[in-house]
A and B are shown apart, each in its own frame.
Chain A
Amino acid sequence: MNAGVEKGVAKAVTLRRNVQIELQVNGEPTEVSFAPYKTLLELLREDLDLPGTKHGCELGECGACTVLLDGEPVLSCLVLAVECAGRSVETVEGLAQGTRLHALQAALTDLGGSQCGYCTPGMLMTAKALLEREPSPSRERIREAIAGNICRCTGYQQIVDAIESAARELRAGGETAR
């Protein structure tokens, strides 16, 4: 917000010349040119046409913008896009195989873990990172893993149910669901 700005102080001229990087986005080699001040979140949403990743605060407080960077969950609003050169980014758009949903996606919607759907992309990416590290987490571990992803609709219970159920399915070898 701009409260308290009465002074009208001229700001330093922002460097506006675009930078160009190469990176992997959902498994695809990608070349992109963008303003150097942008965050990874802005790069995805504004320059790579991937608005599935959401923003809830742009201050690293809500978890809505979580993506995987080299397999690790990160808050994309706190990652400078230029730092992603040569790295691999996974977003919600890369979860399904063709039209077949990932087990986490199917479980989350079937078990009520996605109401308004706004925290859902970040929740899914956090959960994916968890299950890749720990294929059979306890409910308590699931709660810990998603503690940084705020959801205002569900009260989390059905999200935990869904991650638990997807973990079971993935362990049983079902890679994808309908």
Chain B
Amino acid sequence: MSGADKKFDVVGKARRRVDGRGKVVGQLRFADDLVLPRMLHCKLLRSPHPHAVVESVDVSRAEGHPGVHLVLTGEAFPVPYGIMPVSLDEHPLARERVRYVGDPVAAVVAKDEQSATEAIELIAVRYRPLPTIASPEEALANPEARIHDYGEQGNIHRNQAYEFGDVEGALAASDLVFEDLFFYEGNTHLPMEQQASLASVEGDGKLLLQSSTQNPHYLHRQLARVLQMPASQIRVIATPNGGGFGGKCDPGNHEFVVCKAALVLGRPVKISLTREEVFYQHRGRHPVLMKFRTGVSKDGKLTAMHLQTLLDGGAYGSHGPASTFYTGVLTPVTYQLPRFKFEACRVFTNKPACGPKRGHGTPQPRFGQEVQLDKIADKLDLDPAELRLGMVTEPGSLTASWLRVGTTGLAACIRSVVERSDWKAKHRKLPLGRGVGLACSTYMCGAGVAIYWNKMPHSAVQLLLDRSGQVTVYSGATEIGQGSDDVLAGLIAEALGIDTDAVRCITGDTGITPIDLGSYSSRVTIMMGNAALQAAGRVRDQLAAAAAEALDTLPERVVFSQGRVFAVDDAGKAMSFVEAVALAEAKFGTLSAVGSYTPPKPPGKYKGAGVGPSPAYSFSACVVETEVDPATGWIHVPKIWIAHDIGRALNPVLAKGQVIGGVYMGLGEALMEEQAFRRLPPKLSDALVHRNPSMLDYKSLTALDMPEVDVTLIEDPDPNCPYGAKEVGQGPLLPVMPALANAVYDAVGVRVDEVPVTPDKVLRALERKAKGEAARVGPEAFPEVPYPSPTFVLPPWENGDGDELKGADGKPVRRERRVATA
């Protein structure tokens, strides 16, 4: 499907995106722009306590408030939900327990937002506060009070351990072993659009939810579960998302609440979260503490790595089981690593739940890995670029953990940024206060396994053509701003030799469109795209057969290009695309086709091998230049160079925009973005609250802060991807944070082993350096975590078969857990 030698009409050409016009004229309707007759408005009452028992909720005064139509409490929702089948731990409104400041307790539906806001203040809730778990260390030290009555033990939600080959043996035999601790603070998506949802009962009696969700399919399933209705009676329309970045992947409490209210009242009910509520809704980047023990040979080859991670999960499961895996599984994809072990633990704390944010679980270990490599290069006196070039993974190879690396352009990416940034003239050569740093990364082109276990396709596309020449394409994929509608239209147009103008996209509507799992894990271009090309190929065959008869040629000699259908060897034999459709409609009847896509089976067979495999991986390399003021610690970034292995750019304007946008978000994380919490003074309530839940206080880069970004797209088409196109939505964010930290080191000679890298940390490290102490700021200790005995799997090159080691009884052999002595 790579079509490497094909000449393209649409693919690779800069075009106005198909949904572009609606956005600039203000006609695109986001969820909160929707209005229905008789519509009511909803507001949520949220807990002021981080952890408490809800003893009673008295709604009588709220119910009597003018304009109020309905008050709901936890009693309305006996059935729990959760995005992952193993973590069904949330209720739309708290029943017996609140677990973070902001946990919804009750809802008011009223004639307008003003009346609803007034009425929620009339609800009297009696809480009995429980001890607050504020940090992972507290969660490990305090198995009681237990935040949830499920999980591994105490307040440990998930605990995972995998070992691929004898890591301790390899470390012991290594020339050098580097041990480093890193911390990555949590941060949030901050989409410009606050979540909004509008529920209504349609004329046919069915429930309709129009909502700013990235995953209408998963939401649909959860609605059926919580509302105890057949899914066929529910329709979810994903409205265009005003930015997602992972924040609209989890089903939201508010989505269930407005559905229930609409069903009770028989009237449309809308909710729009305030910005402060969006901060508390969160589901963003996990704070992660990491410990890397990495063995290297003197000539700069990795021998083994032992990675330990500890995730602060917040109050609910969310995507946590997957997030926990992702702090380990993609680590070995970039460089040859003979043996690898990772232990990962996610704990519950009384803070808003963490979940997936752009890069899901992988930016944190990538930061640690890439900063540690910079230290390794420094110690071995090797150029960091050369060190990396000497060990990039081979195309088509397997990792120690049995992930199949498909095509890789990582080496080309490194060479590109080294050349374009004039790296060799700058690294360790710029005057004090100026520096450059380099880092690399990889990301999946879609998760190989669905969130709930099933054997069905991950994406399906339906095409409908008629004699007008109109091509309508239906897909469950969700437009969150990334350009998925444009990818869909572009691929169909290319395959049928027409303009994207002739393609109408109908997407993200569970009532009409075939299922696509959603806009997450950078899966849409690849999975929806492959399904679209299959459907287009089937229609094209019918068109070619009908056209061939009329043109007196063979179907395989029929060419589709620029709205024309003609014989390859005789341009005189030609007709318009519209004529070809009419002929095919006459010959075959109504023209329609479906296509679907299921990712290839992963090579690993061990339990847990389903997280990490992907049809393809994208790769990125990045150089950040910094100017650091040694007097203030202030970090200025004048320029960033990035190269991204995209396989093929379907629409270069959009692809470049995704790269720059990823760099922007990565630089914000690197320098300033923090979803951090503080305790209110005891005289207030001692509650654990968000430190900066507003767009003014939660710092993000403005146009003035953003440096120029030099983008190179490396195009080496991947055979598993539509016309060779890999992902670009998440990968380019990942190398920015470590490249920035490495550039700060190059500028002033101090290590900030922590994200964000802020001026106060730089100053503190400089002060330590001046005193002759270690020129570093970062975590000093890694707590004792009761990781389980690892699942042991032999790497491919140690005669492994991809399965975990089993004894004569067929049961997995658990190796004794060896605690490393530092």
| A111 CA to B694 CA, complexed, in Å | 30
Binding-face segment, A17-25, A79-87, A148-156, A167-175: A148-156
Please measure, in the bound complex, the distance between the C-alpha atom of A54 and the C-alpha atom of B83, giving whole angstroms. Answer: 29
Structural contact, A117 and B21, CB atoms closer than 8 A: no
Residues 191 to 220 of chain B near chain A (Cβ within 8 Å): 191-194
Which residues on the B side are within 8 Å of A148 (C-beta)? 702
Q: Are A93 and B102 in contact (CB under 8 A)?
A: no
CB <8 Å contact, B23 and A155: no
Stretch of B376-384, B618-626, B703-711 that contacts chain A: B703-711
A110 touches B32 (CB 8 A): no
Asked if A39 lies at the interface with its beta carbon under 8 angstroms from chain B, I say: no
Of the candidates B654, B665, B689, B695, the one having the most CB atoms from chain A within 10 angstroms of its own CB is: B695
Is the Cβ of B481 less than 8 Å from the Cβ of A1? no
Which residue of the partner chain B has the closest CB to A4?
A: B48
- Residues in A whose Cβ lies below 8 Å from that of B122: 8, 10
Q: Is A121 interfacial (CB 8 A cutoff)?
A: yes
A142 to B702, CA, bound (A): 12
- Contact assessment for A152 and B695 in the assembled complex, using a CB-CB cutoff below 8 Å: no
Contacts of B27 in A (CB 8 A): 52
Q: A1-B280, A62-B695 are in contact. Are A114 and B24 (CB under 8 A)?
A: yes
Known: A37-B114, A57-B695, A117-B242. A160 touches B703 (CB 8 A): yes
Q: Which of these, A5, A53, A91, A105, contacts B24 with CB under 8 Å?
A: A105
Which residues from B are CB-within-8-Å of A92? 24-26
Chain B nearest CB from A19 CB (Å) reads 15
**How far, in whole Å, are A144 and B127 apart by their CA atoms in the complex?**
48
- Complex alpha-carbon distance, A140 and B534, angstroms: 47
Interface of A is mostly: loop
CB proximity to A under 8 Å, residues B311-352: none
State which residues 479-504 of B face A: CB under 8 Å.
480-483
Q: Is the CB of A152 within 8 A of B700?
A: yes
Once A2-B45, A118-B192, A155-B706 are accepted as A-B contacts, the answer to whether A54 and B657 lie under 8 Å apart by CB is: no
In the assembled complex, A109 has its CB within 8 A of some CB on chain B: yes
Partner of B695, one of A59, A144, A154: A59
Contact B480–A116 (Cβ < 8 Å):
yes
> Interface code B699-727, partner A: CB below 8 Å = 1, 0 otherwise?
01111101011000000000000000000
> Contacts A57-B695, A61-B696, A111-B653: A52 and B706 contacting too (C-beta < 8 A)?
no
- Contacts A59-B694, A116-B481 known; A1 to B276 CB distance under 8 Å? yes
Residues of A within 8 A of B483 (CB): 115
Report A-chain residues with C-beta under 8 Å of the C-beta of B20. 109-110, 114
Q: Are B654 and A112 in contact (CB under 8 A)?
A: yes
Residues of A within 8 A of B61 (CB): 8
**What residue of chain A has the Cβ atom nearest to residue B705's Cβ?**
A147
Among A156, A157, A159, which residue has the most Cβ atoms of chain B within 10 A?
Answer: A157
The reply on A51 being an interface residue by CB < 8 A is yes
Bound Cα distance A144, B703 (Å): 7
A176 within 8 A of B: no
Q: Does B245 contact A (CB under 8 A)?
A: yes
In the complex the two chains form, is A56's CB within 8 Å of B26's CB? no
| Bound-state Cα–Cα, A171 to B25, Å | 22
**Per-residue contact bits, chain A 12-44, to B (CB 8 Å; 1 contact, 0 not):** 001000000000000000000001010000000
> Is B606 an interface residue when CB atoms closer than 8 A count as contact?
no
List residues of chain A with CB within 8 A of the CB of B704.
143-144, 147
Tell me whether B564 is interfacial, beta carbon within 8 Å: no
CB within 8 Å for A149 and B21 given contacts A9-B121, A56-B193, A115-B657:
no
Bound form: Cα–Cα A106–B17 in Å: 11
In the assembled complex, B274 has its CB within 8 A of some CB on chain A? yes
Whether, in the assembled complex, A146 has its beta carbon less than 8 Å from a beta carbon of chain B, the answer is yes
A136 CB to nearest chain B CB (Å): 18
Q: Are A116 and B48 in contact (CB under 8 A)?
A: no
Contacts of A143 in B (CB 8 A): 703-704, 706
Given A1-B280, A152-B243, A116–B660 Cβ distance below 8 Å?
Answer: no
Partner of A118, one of B30, B118, B662: B30
B-side contacts of A9, CB under 8 Å: 121
Contact B696 A124 (CB under 8 A): no
Residue in B26, B101, B122, B481 with the greatest tally of chain A CB atoms within 10 Å: B26
| A145 shortest CB reach to chain B, Å | 8
Q: In the complex, are the beta carbons of B192 and A6 less than 8 A apart?
A: no
Give complex CA distance A117, B277 in Å: 22
Q: Are A101 and B241 in contact, with the CB atoms below 8 A?
A: no
B125 at the binding interface (Cβ < 8 Å): yes
Given contacts A56-B192, A56-B194, A57-B275, contact A117 B481 (CB under 8 A): yes
Residues of chain B contacted by A153 (CB below 8 angstroms): 192, 243, 481, 657, 661
Is A95 a contact partner of B191 (Cβ separation < 8 A)? Answer: no
Are B664 and A8 neighbours in the complex by a CB distance under 8 Å?
no
**A131 interface hit (Cβ, 8 Å):** no
Cβ-defined partner of B25 (8 Å) among A95, A112, A144, A154: A95
Interface residue? B542 (CB, 8 A): no
Task: Decide if A66 is an interface residue (CB 8 Å cutoff).
Answer: no
- A101 & B21 in contact (Cβ 8 Å cutoff): yes
Chain A residues with CB below 8 A from B11, complex form: none
Cβ distance B677 to chain A, nearest Cβ, rounded Å: 13
B700-A150 in contact (CB<8A) = yes
CB proximity of A58 to chain B, nearest CB, Å: 7
Complex CA distance for A114 and B124, rounded to whole angstroms: 45
* A78 on interface, CB distance cutoff 8 Å: no
Tell me if B695 and A117 are in contact (CB < 8 A): no
Q: Which residue of B lies closest to A115 (CB)?
A: B481
A112 & B657 in contact (Cβ 8 Å cutoff): yes
Residues of A within 8 A of B420 (CB): none
A119 within 8 A of B: yes
Complex Cα distance A62/B274, Å? 13
Q: Whole-angstrom distance from the CB of A107 to the nearest CB of chain B?
A: 9
Please indicate the chain B residues that have their CB under 8 angstroms from the CB of A124 in the complex.
Answer: 24
Cβ contacts under 8 Å, A112 to chain B: 653-654, 656-657
If the complex has contacts A152-B190, A157-B708, are A2 and B703 also in contact, measured as CB distance less than 8 A?
Answer: no
Residues of A within 8 A of B (CB): 1-6, 8-11, 14, 35, 37, 45, 50-59, 61-62, 64, 91-93, 95-96, 101, 105-106, 108-112, 114-121, 124, 142-144, 146-160
26 residue pairs from A and B, CB less than 8 Å apart: A3-B48, A3-B689, A5-B45, A6-B125, A8-B61, A8-B122, A8-B123, A9-B121, A51-B35, A52-B25, A54-B30, A54-B193, A56-B275, A59-B694, A95-B25, A116-B192, A120-B23, A142-B703, A147-B704, A150-B192, A152-B190, A156-B702, A156-B706, A157-B660, A158-B653, A158-B656
19 extra interface residue pairs, beta carbon distance < 8 Å, beyond A2-B117, A152-B191: A8-B121, A50-B26, A54-B30, A109-B20, A114-B20, A115-B661, A116-B193, A116-B481, A117-B19, A117-B22, A120-B23, A143-B704, A153-B192, A155-B660, A155-B706, A156-B664, A156-B703, A157-B706, A158-B657
- Chain B residues within CB distance 8 Å of chain A: 16-17, 19-30, 32-33, 35, 43-48, 61, 101-102, 114, 117-118, 120-125, 127, 189-194, 240-245, 274-277, 280, 480-483, 653-654, 656-657, 660-665, 685, 687, 689, 694-696, 700-704, 706, 708-709
**Which are the 7 A-B pairs with shortest beta-carbon distances?**
A52-B26, A116-B481, A155-B664, A117-B23, A118-B242, A109-B20, A92-B26
